[in-house]
Amino acid sequence: MTAAADASGWTPRPRPARAPGAAEPDAAGPAAAGPALVPAPVRVTSRARGTAVWERVHVVLDPALAGALPLLADLVVRRLGRRLTVADRPGCAAPAPSPGGPARPAPLPANGTASPVRPSADGTAPPAPPSADQPPPGALVVTLTHDPALAPEHHVLDVGPAGVEVRAAGADGARHAVQTLRQLVGPAAFRDAPLDASALPLPGVRVEDGPRFSHRGVLLDVARHFLPKREVLRFVELAAAHKLNVLHLHLTDDQGWRFEVRAFPRLTEVGGWRRESQLGSSRSPLFDGRPHGGWYTQDDLREIVAFARTRGVTVVPELDVPGHSQAAMAAYPELAAGTAPDEVWTRWGLNPHALAPTEAVLDFYRTVLDELVEVFDSPVVCLGGDEVPLDAWAADPAALARVGELGLEDVDELLPWFVGRLTEHLRGHGRRVSVWDEVGGARVPRDVVVNSWRGVRSGLDALRDGHDVVVCTEHRLYLDHRAAPGLDEPVPVGTVHTLEDVHAFEPVSPAAAETMAEDGAGRVLGAQAQVWTEQLDSPRRVDYATWPRLCAFAEVVWTPREMRERAGFADLERRLTGAHLARLDAAGVGYRPLEGPRPWQRRPGVPGWALRFDDLGQLVHTPTGER
């Protein structure tokens, strides 16, 4: 099969020879089994004839969809090496700017005066731009049409002999259509530079599509193991290619602080690195003896946010409090309850330290959050709240005195109180807070979003308390956990989450559906996969753990449940092996092969700690790695 056939499931006819100056012929071909798209779209209709990406691409743009133009230009110019011209759709006025909120970057020129992006071959200035109804001879015409009748993020993509038409209610829907077009082009659209200038066939197809959930997220932990900015940008690009729209960026933890705070420079000077790292699981006796560190400047993070915005991805920052904070305490010992740790933590697992529940500590974090909201435009900020060691407060006389001053019953009520105070501060910035599901009870404001990770019951409790919920279930959606039974997986930790397990996961259980129907209950906003990095110490290890399981997760949160269950895992496997893994190959993704790890992807000698559920539903260690 050709590369184009690998990418779309469609085998093109050879392009017929034509005389110089002759009109372009139709590039038609049968759509044998339909295009192999990931995630699977809602509705696909194959057409008898398609078209091709020729030397020139002319975009007719409704200004209401101008936010999709940077992504389309990146595809056409950088990846495919084609000449691009842009003209406004006749009779369309530029949309009014959105009231309030951070300013969005200006799109590429789309006012009828855009010129080809690269000069003529002889180095002279490009020709005058064409009008919208007179594209350059032989150009592929791509029309972006605003259709307010469509739901948010929904879109229609039509590919036929006359060209490509996209209809969407807004830029997000148009971006999704461009991502679908990118998959139809094939692996060439996933490379960073064109290999040649030959015509790229496009199958005749009509795709009507839109997401199941509004929150389709993936968490990337850069606190345990730092990832350079370029790798975060690459992760955003790949997530967006699978129509995910939230990057939850875990910026702080016991093992590192990655966010520059100008008011408190020691957070990165001291908290941004550790002297060594534990090798393997939290039970391992091994350490690597190598310092590890790094952090992002505020401008680095602004760049990540701005780039993500062009891809339709919102970056949700997480500063984890009042547990998982040893890096901050090592930098500023006065933050600690009781005796402060003397260094950034070098181990994994449950940490014994917590922040002191004082006004001074809250003021410290209010200042940190004031700087954070100047960098991130997300409507939601995550404050963590998970795995807080309540014993640290119970052993601290000052914390116990605080319980009495506040009229609380026990130290466990300090957790919702602490998070609630910072929630009030962020509400003053117009932001909403999310927390992990240990933070619950009547003291937690109802507008707080709960990330439900410990199982079904915690999510149901949050829904009944009126909280909106993002489903993050550990034993299906933690992608650092092992992808197969046995001990061949590199550093096998946690329970088994195979590719098929992830694809079969259902975020809305029958009990959740019943609970949401109750008066005053919250909603399931969507779901989120987690890429924790204790055992993922390099971009290659992140690739291995994430892909292609994140492809399966993307289908869970995008494709209608009935379609996904009716087609089954075999259909996803067919699309992966027949087309989509070739796209990931072209993008340079070091994914886990479906048949198991390659020799160089294994980590012999680095101990894991494999778990399974016993007959009573309890987690137990499995020395042989069975399920």
What is the rounded average pLDDT of the residues 378-395?
A: 97
Does 462 share its domain with 568?
yes
In a domain, 149, yes or no: yes
The per-residue pLDDT for 441 is 78
Domain of 68 in residue numbering reads as 43-93+132-209
User: What is the per-residue burial (b if ≥16 Cβ within 10 Å, else e) of 65-101?
Assistant: bbbbbbbbbbbbbebbebbbbbbbbeebeeeeeeeee
The per-residue pLDDT for 460 is 96
Does 260 share its domain with 157?
no
151, 177, 209 - which closes a domain: 209
Model confidence pLDDT, tens digit, residues 237-277: 999 999 999 999 999 999 999 999 999 999 999 999 999 99
CATH of the domain at 606: 3.20.20.80
Smallest Cα–Cα separation from 483: which of 575, 608, 596, 569?
Answer: 596
In a domain, 37, yes or no: no
Radius of gyration of the chain (CA): 26
pLDDT band at 145 (very low <50, low <70, confident <90, very high): very high
* The pTM of the whole model exceeds 0.85: yes
Does 533 share its domain with 448?
yes
Structural domain count, the chain: 2
Does 171 share its domain with 266?
no
Does 270 share its domain with 238?
yes
The per-residue pLDDT for 135 is 84
The per-residue pLDDT for 65 is 98
Of the chain, the percentage scoring pLDDT greater than 70 comes to 88
Whether the predicted pLDDT of 131 surpasses 60: no
Whether the predicted pLDDT of 8 surpasses 70: no
CATH of the domain at 52: 3.30.379.10
Does 430 share its domain with 552?
yes
Tokens matching residue 606: 């680095």
Smallest Cα–Cα separation from 86: which of 110, 69, 62?
Answer: 110
173, 190, 209 - which closes a domain: 209
pLDDT band at 34 (very low <50, low <70, confident <90, very high): confident
pLDDT band at 126 (very low <50, low <70, confident <90, very high): very low
Instruction: Give dist(CA 411, CA 413) in Å, integer.
Output: 5
Instruction: Give dist(CA 64, CA 72) in Å, integer.
Output: 15
Whether the predicted pLDDT of 139 surpasses 50: yes
What is the rounded average pLDDT of the residues 349-367?
A: 98
Does 359 share its domain with 483?
yes
Whether the predicted pLDDT of 56 surpasses 70: yes
Catalytic residue among 231, 387, 500, 573, which? Answer: 387
Does 370 share its domain with 231?
yes
In a domain, 454, yes or no: yes
209, 239, 265 - which closes a domain: 209
What is the rounded average pLDDT of the residues 489-512?
A: 97
Whether the predicted pLDDT of 2 surpasses 50: no
Does 155 share its domain with 229?
no
In a domain, 2, yes or no: no
In a domain, 195, yes or no: yes
CA 7 to the chain's CA centroid: 22
What is the rounded average pLDDT of the residues 514-527?
A: 97
Does 385 share its domain with 527?
yes
In a domain, 116, yes or no: no
* DSSP string of 455-489, one letter each residue: -HHHHHHHHHTT--EEE--HHHHBTTS-SSSSS-S
**Contact between 510 and 626 (Cβ < 8 Å):** no
What is the rounded average pLDDT of the residues 571-596?
A: 98
In a domain, 111, yes or no: no
Model confidence pLDDT, tens digit, residues 424-464: 999 999 999 999 999 987 789 999 999 999 999 999 999 99
Is 555 among the catalytic positions? no
Does 510 share its domain with 596?
yes
What is the rounded average pLDDT of the residues 71-83?
A: 98
In a domain, 124, yes or no: no
Q: Is 231 helix (H, G, I), strand (E, B) or coil?
A: helix
What is the rounded average pLDDT of the residues 320-330?
A: 98
Does 163 share its domain with 143?
yes
Smallest Cα–Cα separation from 169: which of 221, 211, 130?
Answer: 211
Which residues, including other chains, have CB under 8 Å from residue 220's CB and lie 6 or more apart? 227, 232, 235, 247, 248, 249, 250, 531, 533, 542
What is the rounded average pLDDT of the residues 120-142?
A: 63
Whether the predicted pLDDT of 148 surpasses 90: yes
The per-residue pLDDT for 141 is 97
pLDDT band at 31 (very low <50, low <70, confident <90, very high): very low
